[in-house]
């Protein structure tokens, strides 16, 4: 993993200042804003840091940085994640964030944990989306339920749940069409998928995950908001963290919209997914 | 929400606060600059770019002549507008065309930025301009990416050249031989998405470039990109010396920071913007017009372009004659609704009007493109005779029409009333003298 090595070589705090002066705070603020957390969140965090340093009589930059790291970790509000089975995961998100690849990775994650996984090709809208998921299913040796392009995605989900129940499978992962959150009709379709799933398998556990691309800016907030308007959103999968993007935009999403991060994705391979690790995440922001 | 509407709204708010002051003090300008900086950052403009921008504007806005001017806020807005235009690159830049065919256009960018869709959009646009494009599928990594391009190509009847998952460098060379053989004048190459720090894949792009020497290397960027815009565009430009940028997905609630950041960092023009999911949704990018739109000054030029595309000259002349003779009927109304739809709908048109774009949020709930559709359904439920002569539509006809269109009689009444009112206005416009009193009254009513 050449990319990663390069990263971790750079993983050291690069502040040049020794005193807690305005320059020091400015540099930190720039760092936070550059992570895409938004200028308001960044200013709030800086205020908090200034207060903390005043209260604890901190004078050196090293301790101030440690405090900042703690504030950043606390603000992520991480809770333990437990999956209960049978589990139906519906994966939503706008076009191009990496939904299908994420589904492949989650499939690997669950099969590695000895769970049986079934996929539903619910993206009946984008050209060749079903083929893309099918290729993954073959590679990962899991079953996939699909219909043709233009089919009703709720009906694909219906078929998938029938099959899931018959074979007593643990996890069903539903792919959905990418949609710009501004398109109402496609959002309605998601509601329908959810309703069908709940009606057909009321005893299952449901998890609606939104996939967010770490390189996208403040728009991610609008994306989560819009999806939340039509369906419940239980968690975030933050993808493309293998680049230089930091994904700081999850701060306002976690704090204002109360949606936690569950997984992070960091590559195109099926193993490039892990449960969210706040410590690593914050280290990268402060890099 | 349209491209930049968020930034537009905030800037308008800042300037309207300034206007209330009349004369400006240095302190007030400083405060406004601070607010503009925050607005830019919230719009995902890169931190450094925003800082430089504010420094430039501040310097110019602190000048004596601004502080002494009678309309200082207008002067400040003008400075901001000029700087925004410069930041985005001045004039529109067209696609380069190779003197010796084929013109080779190569796409590059991150995963998920919309390269494949853009290939389809660009091919369709060129086809409409009587070019003969060939699409080349070189994304050998993402499963089914080649299929996606093939499906796209089929839908717009453009040939797709592919060699499966063969080495892309070899594939592009063969594609160009193929284009030469069959006299195809433009070759559009789709490449795999990649991270700018992935050296192996970046080398592959460099090799493709070396092998075929493209006329255009377009960097495709998702308009929703955050602070990364700078690092990404810089890396791609350093590796490939791109010739232009295309911003995709500008139809979401896009803040547009990328549009403001990229040009100043890599010095390459934004040539097109993707404005929707349909393959026809691709527009040339005009920095000057965009700057006006951001500042709520509207974008009448783009509006005219769109109108020209949507309505052919003959229809326009015919319409004008009907207005003049006042023989405008409900059939013509449908025609107008259709043209409006072709121009992107009422909201899109309104957002380009001066003074409106900054207030789109307030208007969002008031205007409804569905209303146009409803009216269309009502008219289509009328007989030919009724459409030509709406006066004959009595109570029972109204009921029949309402049933046919699946609306209430009230909706039919509203439509007919609106139609009569617009006819009345047209009559007044035609002969203002006869209606002198009424016109003056109307102007008063409209606050003019």
pLDDT-based confidence at B239, cuts 50/70/90?
very high
Span B103-114, average pLDDT:
94
Chain A contact for B103 (CB, 8 A cutoff): no
CA-to-CA distance for B153 and B160, rounded, in angstroms?
6
Judge whether A211 and A99 are in contact, CB under 8 Å.
Answer: yes
In chain A the domains, ranked by start, together with CATH numbers, are 2-75 (1.20.120.140), 87-277 (3.40.50.300)
* A61/A53 Cα distance (integer angstroms): 10
Using an 8 Å CB-CB cutoff, list chain A residues near B43.
Answer: 218
Please determine, for residue B448, whether its predicted confidence score (pLDDT) is greater than 60: no
Two tokens at B206? 């460099």
Q: What is the pLDDT of residue B155?
A: 94
Residues 6+ apart with CB under 8 A from B207: B169
Identify the pLDDT of residue B195: 87
- Lowest average pLDDT, out of A214-218, B310-314, B401-405, goes to B310-314
* pLDDT the model gives residue A22: 82
Across A235-249, B27-41, B339-353, least confident range: B339-353
Partner-chain contact B232 A215, CB within 8 Å:
yes
pLDDT band of B252, cuts 50, 70, 90: low
Question: Is any Cβ of chain A less than 8 angstroms from the Cβ of B199?
Answer: yes
Q: Provide the pLDDT for residue A36.
A: 93
Nearest to A98 among B111, B196, B252 (CB): B111
Q: Give percent of chain A with pLDDT exceeding 70.
A: 92
For the cut 60, the answer to whether the pLDDT of residue A99 exceeds it is yes
Distance CA B283, CA B290 (A): 12
With CA atoms as reference, the chain A residue closest to B275 would be: A180
Residue A171 has pLDDT above 60, yes or no: yes
Q: What is the pLDDT of residue B10?
A: 86
Contact call for A182 and B197, based on CB within 8 A: no
Q: What's the mean pLDDT when you consider all of chain A?
A: 88
CATH topology of domain B5-88: 1.20.120
Q: Which helix (H) or strand (E) holds A209?
A: strand A205-213
Q: Which fold has domain B303-445?
A: 434 Repressor (Amino-terminal Domain) (1.10.260)
Contact B145, B139 (CB under 8 A): yes
Contact B110 A243 (CB under 8 A): yes
Quickly count: other Cβ atoms within 10 Å of residue B369's Cβ. 15
Non-local (6+) Cβ contacts of B186 within 8 A are: B101, B102, B103, B104, B105, B123, B126, B131, B132, B133, B134
Query: Do the Cβ atoms of A181 and B147 come within 8 Å?
Result: no
pLDDT of residue A7: 41
CB neighbour class for B448 (10 Å; exposed up to 12, middle 13-18, buried from 19): exposed
Question: In angstroms, rounded to a whole number, what is the distance separating the alpha carbons of residues A47 and A8?
Answer: 29
Over 90: is that where the pLDDT of B21 sits?
no
- With H, G, I as helix, E, B as strand and everything else as coil, classify residue A265: strand
Chain A contact present for B42, CB below 8 A: yes
Nearest partner of B7 among B247, B225, B227, B254, judged by Cα? B254
Interface of A with B (CB under 8 A): 2-3, 6, 30, 33-36, 38-40, 94-98, 126-129, 131-132, 134-136, 149, 180-183, 213, 215-220, 222, 240, 242-245, 249, 268
- Chain A residue with CA closest to B199: the answer is A3
Q: Which chain A residue lies closest to B2 (C-alpha atoms)? A: A182
Task: Name the minimum distance, in Å, from the CA of B183 to any CA of chain A.
Answer: 28
ipTM, 2 dp: 0.77
Is A136 close to B225, i.e. CB distance below 8 A? no
- pLDDT, tens digit, for every residue of B331-384? 877 777 777 777 777 677 776 666 565 565 566 666 666 777 888 889 889 998
Closest Cβ opposite residue A3 in set B143, B197, B228: B197
Q: Which has the minimum average pLDDT: A229-233, A254-258, B231-235, B304-308? A: B304-308
Q: Are A127 and A98 in contact (CB under 8 A)?
A: no
- pLDDT for the residue numbered A258: 93
User: Which of B195, B222, B255 is the closest to A218 by Cβ?
Assistant: B255
In this predicted structure, the answer to whether residue A8 has a pLDDT above a threshold of 60 is: no
Contact A249 B112 (CB under 8 A): no
Which residues belong to CATH 1.10.260.30 in chain B? 303-445
For testing contact with chain A, the best of B228, B232, B256 (most A CBs within 10 A) = B228
* pLDDT above 80 for B14: yes
pLDDT for A128 equals 82
Residues of chain B with CATH 3.40.50.300: 103-297
Residues of A in contact with B147 (CB under 8 A): 127-128, 131-132
Query: Which of A39, A132, A217 shows the shortest C-beta gap to B225?
Result: A217
What average pLDDT score do residues B238-254 get?
A: 88
* pLDDT score of A45 more than 60: yes
Give me the pLDDT at residue B254, please.
67
3-state secondary structure of A19: strand
Of the listed ranges A127-141, B101-115, B300-314, the least confidently predicted one is B300-314
Give the least confident one: A78-92, A233-247, B2-16, B30-44.
B2-16
Name the range with the highest mean pLDDT among A111-120, A219-228, B324-333, B347-356.
Answer: A111-120
pTM over 0.80: no
Distance from CA of A131 to the nearest CA of B (A): 6
Q: What residue in A sits closest to B225 (Cα-Cα)?
A: A216
Distances (CA, A) of A190 to A152, A285, B122, B431: 11, 33, 31, 54
Contacts of A123 (CB under 8 A, 6+ apart): A99, A100, A129, A130, A133, A153, A175, A176, A177, A178
Q: Which of A28-37, B118-127, B416-425 has the highest mean pLDDT?
A: B118-127
pLDDT average, residue stretch A260-275:
93
Average pLDDT over residues A71-84: 90
Best of A148, A211, A215 to disrupt the B interface (most B CBs within 10 Å) is A215
Average pLDDT over chain B, rounded to an integer: 83
* Residue A13 pLDDT > 50: no
Whether A219 and B151 lie within 8 Å, measured CB to CB: no
Q: How far is it, in rounded angstroms, from Cα A50 to Cα A31?
A: 16
**Alpha carbons B243 and B97: distance in angstroms, whole number:** 12
**pLDDT higher than 50, residue A12:** no
CB contact under 8 A, B226 and A215: yes
Q: Chain B closest CA to A183's CA: distance in Å?
A: 9
**Most confidently modeled of A101-105, B5-9, B228-232?**
A101-105
Q: Which CATH code, of 3.30.70.1140, 3.40.50.300, 2.30.30.100, 2.60.40.1170, is assigned to B103-297? A: 3.40.50.300
User: For residue A218, what are the contacts with CB-CB under 8 A and spacing of at least 6?
Assistant: A36, A38, A249, B42, B43, B44, B226, B255
Query: Which of B98, B96, B106, B121 is closest to B180 using CA atoms?
Result: B98
> B1 and A128 in contact by Cβ < 8 A?
no
Q: What is the pLDDT of residues B256-289, one digit of tens each?
A: 788 888 988 899 999 999 988 889 999 999 888 8
- Interface contact B152-A127, CB threshold 8 A: yes
């Amino acid at each position: 993993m050449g990319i990663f090595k390069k990263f971790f070589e750079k993983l050291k705090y690069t502040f040049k200042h020794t005193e807690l002066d305005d320059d020091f705070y400015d540099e930190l603020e720039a760092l936070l804003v550059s992570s895409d957390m938004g200028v308001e969140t960044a200013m709030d965090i800086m205020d908090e840091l200034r207060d903390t340093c005043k209260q604890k009589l901190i004078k050196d930059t090293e301790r101030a940085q440690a405090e900042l790291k703690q504030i950043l970790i606390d603000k992520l509000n991480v809770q333990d994640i437990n999956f209960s089975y049978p589990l139906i995961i519906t994966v939503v998100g706008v076009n191009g964030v990496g939904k299908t690849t994420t589904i492949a990775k989650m499939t690997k994650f669950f099969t590695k944990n000895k769970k049986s996984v079934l996929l539903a090709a619910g993206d009946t809208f984008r050209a060749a989306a079903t083929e893309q998921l099918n290729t993954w299913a073959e590679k990962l040796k899991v079953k996939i339920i699909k219909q043709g392009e233009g089919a009703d995605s709720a009906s694909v989900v219906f078929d998938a749940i029938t099959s899931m129940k018959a074979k007593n499978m643990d996890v069903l992962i539903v792919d959905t069409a990418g949609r710009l959150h501004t398109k109402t009709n496609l959002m309605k379709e998601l509601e329908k998928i959810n309703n069908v799933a709940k009606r057909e398998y009321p005893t299952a556990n449901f998890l609606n995950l939104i996939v967010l691309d770490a390189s996208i800016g403040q728009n991610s907030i609008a994306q989560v908001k819009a999806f939340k308007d039509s369906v419940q959103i239980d968690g975030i999968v933050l993808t493309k963290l293998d680049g230089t993007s930091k994904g700081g935009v999850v701060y306002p999403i976690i704090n204002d919209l109360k949606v936690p991060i569950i997984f992070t994705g960091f590559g195109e391979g099926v193993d490039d997914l892990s449960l969210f690790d706040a410590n690593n995440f914050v280290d990268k922001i402060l890099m | 929400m349209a491209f930049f509407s968020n930034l537009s709204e905030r800037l308008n708010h800042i300037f309207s606060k300034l206007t209330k002051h009349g004369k400006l003090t240095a302190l007030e300008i400083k405060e406004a600059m601070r607010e503009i900086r925050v607005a830019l950052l919230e719009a995902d403009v890169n931190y450094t770019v925003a800082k430089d921008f504010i420094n430039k504007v501040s310097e110019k806005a602190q000048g004596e002549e601004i502080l002494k001017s009678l309309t200082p806020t207008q002067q400040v807005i003008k400075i901001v507008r000029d700087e925004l235009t410069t930041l985005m690159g001045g004039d529109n830049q067209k696609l380069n065309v190779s003197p010796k065919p084929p013109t080779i256009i190569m796409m590059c960018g991150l995963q998920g930025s919309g390269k494949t869709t853009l290939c389809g959009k660009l091919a369709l646009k060129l086809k409409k301009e009587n070019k003969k494009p060939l699409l080349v599928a070189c994304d050998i990594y993402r499963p089914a990416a080649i299929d996606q391009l093939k499906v796209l190509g089929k839908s717009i009847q453009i040939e797709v050249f592919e060699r499966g998952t063969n080495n892309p460098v070899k594939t592009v060379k063969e594609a160009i031989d193929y284009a030469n053989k069959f006299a195809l004048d433009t070759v559009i190459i789709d490449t795999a998405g990649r991270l700018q720090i992935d050296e192996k894949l970046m080398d592959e792009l460099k090799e493709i470039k070396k092998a075929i020497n493209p006329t255009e290397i377009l960097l495709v960027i998702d308009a929703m990109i955050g602070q990364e815009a700078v690092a990404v565009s810089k890396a791609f430009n350093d590796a490939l010396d791109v010739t232009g940028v295309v911003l995709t997905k500008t139809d979401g609630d896009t803040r547009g920071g990328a549009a403001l950041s990229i040009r100043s960092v890599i010095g390459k023009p934004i040539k097109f913007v993707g404005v929707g999911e349909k393959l026809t949704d691709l527009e040339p990018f005009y920095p000057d017009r965009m700057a006006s739109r951001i500042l709520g000054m509207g974008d009448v030029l783009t509006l005219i372009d769109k109108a020209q595309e949507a309505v052919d000259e003959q229809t326009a002349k015919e319409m004008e004659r009907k207005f003049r003779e006042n023989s405008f009927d409900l059939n013509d109304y449908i025609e107008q609704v259709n043209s409006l739809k072709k121009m992107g709908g009422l909201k899109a048109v309104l957002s380009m009007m001066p003074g409106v774009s900054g207030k789109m949020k307030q208007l969002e709930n008031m205007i409804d493109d569905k209303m146009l559709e409803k009216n269309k359904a009502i008219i289509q439920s009328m007989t030919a005779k009724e459409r030509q002569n709406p006066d004959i539509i009595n109570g029972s006809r109204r009921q029949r029409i309402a049933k046919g269109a699946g609306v209430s009689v009230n909706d039919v009444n509203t439509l007919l009333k609106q139609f009569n009112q617009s006819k009345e206005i047209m009559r007044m416009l035609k002969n203002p003298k006869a209606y002198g009193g009424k016109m003056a009254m109307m102007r008063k009513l409209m606050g003019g």
